[in-house]
Structure 1
Amino acid sequence: MNKFRTIYIVLLSLLLVACDPFATEIGTEVSLYESIEKQEFAFPDTLKVMTWNIKFGGGRIDFFFDGHGNRVIMEKSEVIDNMALLSEKIREVNPDILFIQEADVNAKRSAFVDQVQYLLDNTNFNYAAYASQWKARYIPSDGIGKMDSGNAILSKWKFTDAKRIALPLIQSQNFIVRYFYLKRNILEINLESNQKSIKLLTTHLSAYANDDTKKKQLEILKTYVDSLNQKGQEFILGGDFNSLPPFSNQTSNFDDSVCTDEDFQADNYSSETEWLMPFYENYKAAIPLQEFKADNSKHFTHTTDKNGYWNRKVDYLFTNNHFVKNSGNTLQQWMQVSDHAPVIVNFKTKQ
């Protein structure tokens, strides 16, 4: 019996005799944060909104899951250096609202640095909400160990009604992989000012779904924002959808993960490019579809190859109100900071 089969049997035995031995289950809980020193901000007529997958403060280190390197764990000095650079770029943009994905708050791979608190204390934000997406007391694979990583929303103003909405798990993965793997979610908060309510939502959808899980997640997300819209509730939705928009020039064979494990093969997007069309048809996009169609490369937001260039768009901002015309932008100049480029846009709070 080889080593990996032995480990598999041991893990399976533990899972069968205990309800949740590695504490991977995630409920509806949301963690609320405040900066150490708060600043006062008047609520503006126009909000600057930004979404950014920050790659758990990993910068452009070649991690094993990208297929370009073999790193698993970072030194604390590396994490702090990368978070300092992230904070510097965020301060440069100075958004009022920031959606972030892949934020670690208590993980061995990022030296247990609470990245949400770090960003609050080193930018102009006062408050944040965080929802776990990948959580375990210990992950017995590749030296990952303890994990708590997820999505967050940072705001200059206090908010209410923070909640986590669970999304479906990838059903094509085997039982043990699914037990330890990411539990995707929608994080929502309610921002109120000047007798006006704006729902802010962020998400990070599945990247390695070889079944219809990602489609189901997108359908649930669309149904949820539709319900807000039908109630006359304004919303801003941002995040990493791990999906290509319609009119993408390339839909497969990206120079990405070279994993051979069937549970973690890189996405082939060729059948998925119409899945986002309902969002474009019903709501306003920070980067309108016609702009993306005119010049795909100008709006690419992701690549895993630090020696290459951004090669596809997977990060989005949508609203049922109004983005300021021509204010949407993809900031592609900071490739050294993350494997995703941030997207920004201005949102009108008054008509």
Structure 2
Amino acid sequence: MNKFGKIYLVLLILLFAACDPFATKIGDEVSLYESIEQKEFAFPDTLKVMTWNIKFGGGRIDFFFDCHGERVIMEESEVLENMSAVAEKIREVNPDILMIQEADVNAKRSAFVDQVQYLLDNTDFNFAAYASQWKAKHIPSDGIGKMDSGNAILSKWKFTDAKRITLPLIKSQNFIVRYFYLKRNILGIKLEHEGKTLHLLTTHASAYAKDDTKKKQLDIIKSHIDSLKQNGERFIFGGDFNSLPPYSKQTSQFDDSACTDGDFEADNYAEETDWMIPFYEDYNPAILLEDYKNDNSKHFTHTTDKNGYWNRKLDFLFTNGAFIPNSGTTLQQWMQVSDHAPIIVEFNTKQ
């Protein structure tokens, strides 16, 4: 039996001997945060909202899963330097609401720096909610070790009803991989002001699903916001959907992944360009579909190649309220800070 086979056998024995020996199961728990120093802000007529996949403070280090390098673990100095750059850019934009994906709070790969608390203490946000997507006492693969990473929403104002909604797992993965793999979610909070309620939600859909899992995740996301609309509730929903908008006809030009072993090959985006249509049909996007159709490249938000250029749009913001016309912007100038570009938009709180 080879080395991998022996490791696989040991893992099977451990998993069958105990219910959850590596503590990978995630329920509906949400962690609440506050900044060290509270700041006072008047509630504005327009909210500036930002969504950003911050790549766990990894900047553009060549990690193994991008197949451009072999790095797995960062030094604390590297994490703090990268997070300092993330915080600097956030302060420059000065959003009222920030939705982040791939935030580590207790992970070996990011030197156990709590990145949600770091951003609270180094920006003007006062409160945050965090929901794990990837959690384990120890991941016995590639030197990853302890993991706690997920989605967060940061706000200048106190919120209520923080909630984590579970999304389906990738069913085509084998039992061992699925046990240790990411458990995707929707994270939602509620802001209340002058008798009005605004739901703020974020998500990070699957990136490496080779079956219909991501389509099911998107259907659940759409169903959830549909129910808010039907109940007369206002919402802003944003995040990394890992899906292309309609009119993404340039998919054949994508360097989807440098990986060829199957584990981290990107999805076949060319087959998914209609999956986001229901969101555009029923809700208001930060970046109008017509604008995207006319000039795709200025709205791209992702690339795996730090020496190349953004080559696809995977990140979105939608509302059933009113975004200020022409306020939606993709900030492509910070490629060295993350493998995703943030999106910002202004929301009219009076409508």
Give the TM-score of the pair, scaled to structure 1: 0.99
What is the aligned partner in structure 2 of residue 39 from structure 1?
39
Distance 1:291 1:230 in 2: 28
> What is the deviation of 1:253?
5.8
- With 256-265 and 271-280 compared, the bigger mean Cα shift is at 256-265
> What is the deviation of 1:258?
2.6
Distance 1:143 1:291 in 2: 43
Does structure 2 conserve the Cα–Cα contact (< 8 Å) formed by 1:256 and 1:305? no
Equivalent pairs counted in the alignment come to: 351
Distance 1:10 1:324 in 2: 56
Write the deviation string for residues 316-348 of structure 1: whole angstroms up to 9, x where unpaired.
Answer: 000000000000000000001000000000000
Does structure 2 conserve the Cα–Cα contact (< 8 Å) formed by 1:252 and 1:268? no
Whether 1:23 aligns to 2:16 is no
Distance 2:133 2:144 in 1: 15
What is the aligned partner in structure 2 of residue 337 from structure 1?
337
- AA in 2 matched with 1:175: F
Write the deviation string for residues 227-280 of structure 1: whole angstroms up to 9, x where unpaired.
Answer: 000011000000000000000132246324333333432111111100000000
What is the aligned partner in structure 2 of residue 103 from structure 1?
103
What is the aligned partner in structure 2 of residue 237 from structure 1?
237
Distance 1:234 1:144 in 2: 40
Distance 1:252 1:31 in 2: 41
What is the aligned partner in structure 2 of residue 116 from structure 1?
116
Local SS of the residue matching 1:48? strand
What is the aligned partner in structure 2 of residue 300 from structure 1?
300
Does structure 2 conserve the Cα–Cα contact (< 8 Å) formed by 1:130 and 1:153? yes
Point out where structure 1 has 5 or more consecutive residues left out of the alignment.
Answer: none
Distance 1:67 1:261 in 2: 10
Please provide the CA RMSD for this pair: 0.8
Does structure 2 conserve the Cα–Cα contact (< 8 Å) formed by 1:67 and 1:256? no
Distance 1:270 1:310 in 2: 17
> What is the deviation of 1:201?
0.2
What is the aligned partner in structure 2 of residue 66 from structure 1?
66
Distance 1:148 1:258 in 2: 26
What is the aligned partner in structure 2 of residue 315 from structure 1?
315
Does structure 1 conserve the Cα–Cα contact (< 8 Å) formed by 2:132 and 2:150? yes
Distance 1:256 1:119 in 2: 30
- AA in 1 matched with 2:151: N
What is the aligned partner in structure 1 of residue 148 from structure 2?
148
Distance 2:10 2:123 in 1: 45
What is the aligned partner in structure 1 of residue 177 from structure 2?
177
Distance 2:85 2:256 in 1: 25
Does structure 1 conserve the Cα–Cα contact (< 8 Å) formed by 2:66 and 2:264? no
Distance 1:217 1:253 in 2: 26
Distance 1:113 1:309 in 2: 29
> What is the deviation of 1:154?
0.1
- AA in 2 matched with 1:162: A
> What is the deviation of 1:293?
0.1
> What is the deviation of 1:13?
1.0
Does structure 2 conserve the Cα–Cα contact (< 8 Å) formed by 1:105 and 1:148? yes
Local SS of the residue matching 1:318? strand
Write the deviation string for residues 122-161 of structure 1: whole angstroms up to 9, x where unpaired.
Answer: 0000000000000000000000000000000000000000
Within 5 Å, give how 1:85-234 maps onto structure 2.
85-234=85-234
Does structure 1 conserve the Cα–Cα contact (< 8 Å) formed by 2:328 and 2:344? yes
- With 253-262 and 117-126 compared, the bigger mean Cα shift is at 253-262
Local SS of the residue matching 1:6? helix
Whether 1:259 aligns to 2:263 is no
Distance 2:124 2:160 in 1: 19
Local SS of the residue matching 1:257? coil
> What is the deviation of 1:16?
1.0
- With 249-258 and 54-63 compared, the bigger mean Cα shift is at 249-258
Local SS of the residue matching 1:163? strand
Write the deviation string for residues 16-55 of structure 1: whole angstroms up to 9, x where unpaired.
Answer: 1110000000000000000000100000000000000000
- With 1-10 and 114-123 compared, the bigger mean Cα shift is at 1-10
What is the aligned partner in structure 2 of residue 78 from structure 1?
78
What is the aligned partner in structure 2 of residue 271 from structure 1?
271
Distance 1:82 1:194 in 2: 38
Does structure 1 conserve the Cα–Cα contact (< 8 Å) formed by 2:41 and 2:156? yes
Does structure 2 conserve the Cα–Cα contact (< 8 Å) formed by 1:79 and 1:113? yes
Give the TM-score of the pair, scaled to structure 2: 0.99
- Tell me the percent identity: 79
- AA in 2 matched with 1:159: F
Local SS of the residue matching 2:251? coil
Does structure 2 conserve the Cα–Cα contact (< 8 Å) formed by 1:244 and 1:251? no
Distance 1:210-1:252 versus aligned 2 partners, 3 A rule = farther
Distance 2:78 2:202 in 1: 27
Distance 1:340 1:131 in 2: 20
Local SS of the residue matching 1:262? coil
What is the aligned partner in structure 2 of residue 10 from structure 1?
10
State the 4+ residue runs in structure 1 displaced beyond 4 angstroms.
none
Distance 1:263-1:61 versus aligned 2 partners, 3 A rule = closer
